Amino acid sequence: MSELTIGREPAGFVARSASDLYRAVWRWHFYAGLLVLPFMITLAMTGALYLFKDEIDGIVHSDLKRVEVQESATRALPSLMVTAAVATHPGTAVKFTDPVSPDSSAEITIETADQGKLAVYVDPYTGKVLGALPDRGTVMWTIRYLHSLKYFGSFTRALIEIAGGWSILLVGTGIYLWWPRRQTGGVVSVRGTPRRRIFWRDTHAVTGIFVGFVIVFLAITGMPWSGVWGAKINDWVNGNNYGYPSGVWTGVPMSDEHANHIAQMSWSLEQAKVPQSSGQDSQPVGLDEAVATFEKLGLHKGYAVNLPTDPFGVYTGSVFPDDLASQRVIHLDQYSGKPLIDVSFADYGPFAKGIEWGISVHMGQQFGLANQLVLLAACIAIVMLAVSAGVMWWKRRPAGSLGVPPLPEDTRVFRGLLVILIAGGLLFPLVGISLAAMLVLDFSYSRMRRPKRA
């Protein structure tokens, strides 16, 4: 009579099950790295530069953005700076940006007939035009567009959303592979020398466990910018009054224009509607009076003023500084000069506040220099992860083979992957589709590699 083993399995079965699970996780960690690491290198390098956007732009474009401080001199009126800019670059002024500091220039955005939009820089003390660039033509705007893949079209930008989901899978599987299994090193220390594969394995594992949680944070906080998920969640958040409060937009005539079409807005205010000016029979107030009103209302330095472009338009003052509490958007009636809508970060809904906080930390703004340095270290670590993964794979792979980790003997362990696929598909549709596609490709690849029976 055989011994009952209810609740227990033979040691060989348990070991084989653990080995199969390890193989399955390792295989999909490999696939996730294959898909994500090229994106992560690009995102890490461009992101590391963008953390210091103000500092780098201030150096590269110092002839345009920096002026000599004149303590005793009075500043030129905004209208005079706009006049000087338009005289040098004929066109229609659409935006005035206040100097963010005493040694900063003012920026006038002009819509020209032959050169498109130009950013014209003016000395606020003398009213002298310092020069011009294409609007958003600074080196840091170029880096920002490279970081978001905006130069490569909406389809390519959707890949960032997929990469974000796969990077979370990469970290999750990486933690499982790192988890201590009686080894004496490779947990928080690195064994061997660069000549040995174990050195690169430990470098990869130890670096990954320290930076993995930052990668997940950056992936999640980067999702609001994605073309599919980000747009849908923005519609849902604001459509259900979790973003900007609908009560602020009552009692004033509204247009059908969205705020992000006339000015650069925070994520939470992109879908907000713009109010209309009334009293078209009256004489419009000028830019100087509008700027004086914004100053009186306490708009943070460095604010932008978008000028009305038609009889129903408004003066829109907006500022999104590093300090989230100082974010603010004010719309003024262009005839009476009175505020129609005044909304700040304190007015945002709970979801919007959380997302804006995540975005601010993601961009290295919320906690000043410490925020920048921590994320810079994370970006360097991400590049190190990619390099160590490449070297480790190169040392491990058989000659003439891609070196895909072996399939588990019991493929039932892949059932857990189906759970991840379903969950990912419900939360992030593009990620779910890509997981399904990879599952099909892996199955096909495995069938092709399987030796044929005689």
Strand pairing partners for 104? 66
Q: Please give the pLDDT value at position 246.
A: 53
Per-residue pLDDT, 428: 79
User: pTM for this structure?
Assistant: 0.87
Residue ending a domain, choose from 98, 115, 137:
137
Residues 265 and 338 in one domain: yes
Q: What CATH number does residue 112 fall under? A: 3.10.450.40
| 14-21 mean pLDDT | 64
Three-state secondary structure of the chain: CCCCCCCCCCHHHHHHHHHHHHHHHHHHHHHHHHHHHHHHHHHHHHHHHHCCHHHHHHHHCHHHHECCCCCCCCCCCHHHHHHHHHHHCCCEEEEEECCCCCCECEEEEEECCCCCEEEEEECCCCCCEEEEEECCCCHHHHHHHHHCCHHHHHHHHHHHHHHHHHHHHHHHHHHHHHCCCCCCCCCCCCCCCCCCHHHHHHHHHHHHHHHHHHHHHHHHHHHHHCCCHHHHHHHHHHHCCCCCCHHHHCCCCEEEEEHHHCCCCCHHHCCCEEECCCCCCCCCCCHHHHHHHHHHCCCCCCCEEECCCCCCCEEEEEECCCCHHHCEEEEEECCCCCEEEEEEHHHCCHHHHHHHHHHHHHCCCCCHHHHHHHHHHHHHHHHHHHHHHHHHHHHHCCCCCCCCCCCCCCHHHHHHHHHHHHHHHHHCHHHHHHHHHHHHHHHHHHHHHCCCCC
The Cα–Cα gap between 85 and 81 comes to 6
* 151 and 208 share one domain: yes
**Does the pLDDT at position 275 exceed 70?**
yes
- Mean pLDDT, range 229-244, rounded to an integer: 66
The region of weakest confidence among 179-188, 250-259, 328-337, 437-446 is: 250-259
| Domain assignment of residue 172, yes or no | yes
**Residue 268 pLDDT level (bands cut at 50, 70, 90):** confident
Q: Are residues 251 and 336 in the same domain?
A: yes
Q: Are 182 and 130 contained in the same domain?
A: no
CA gap 81, 266 in Å, rounded = 27
In a domain, 386, yes or no: yes
pLDDT at site 239 = 60
pLDDT band at 322 (very low <50, low <70, confident <90, very high): very high
Q: Which is more confident, 315 or 19? A: 315
Say if 364 falls within a structural domain.
Answer: no
Q: What is the pLDDT of residue 6?
A: 35
Contacting residues for 187 by C-beta, under 8 A, at least 6 apart? 178, 180, 205, 206
pLDDT at 261 over 60: yes
Query: Is the pLDDT higher at 153 or at 309?
Result: 309
pLDDT band at 273 (very low <50, low <70, confident <90, very high): confident
Its domain, for residue 203, covers 11-51+146-226+369-449
Q: Whose CA is closest to 68, among 103, 120, 30, 42? A: 103
- For residue 248, is pLDDT > 60? no
Query: What is the rounded distance in angstroms from the CA atom of residue 267 to the CA atom of residue 224?
Result: 8
- Residue 343 sits in the same domain as residue 266: yes
pLDDT of residue 5: 37
- What mean pLDDT do residues 263-272 have? 82
Bridge partner residues of 134 (DSSP): 118
For the segment 17-39, the average pLDDT, to the nearest whole number, is 85
- Output the CA torsion sign for 42, 47, 48, 50: positive
What residues does 315 pair with on adjacent strands? Answer: 332
pLDDT at 8: 42
Residues 264 and 407 in one domain: no
pLDDT of residue 2: 39
Same domain, 164 and 42: yes
What is the average per-residue pLDDT within 372-401? 91
Residues 122 and 271 in one domain: no
Same domain, 268 and 344: yes
Question: Do 248 and 396 reside in the same domain of the chain?
Answer: no
How many domains are there within the chain? 3
Same domain, 104 and 212: no
| In-domain check, residue 358 | no
Q: For residue 255, tell me if it sits in a domain.
A: yes
Domain-ending residue, one of 100, 116, 137:
137
Q: What is the dihedral angle through the alpha carbons of 123, 126, 131, 133, rounded to the nearest 10 degrees?
A: 40
Q: What confidence tens digit (pLDDT) does each residue in 48-90 have? A: 999 999 999 999 999 999 999 998 778 999 999 999 999 999 9
Same domain for 43 and 151, yes or no, is yes
Q: What is the pLDDT of residues 147-195, one digit of tens each?
A: 988 887 777 777 878 888 889 889 988 998 998 887 777 888 899 888 8
Which among 115, 137, 159 is the end of a domain? 137
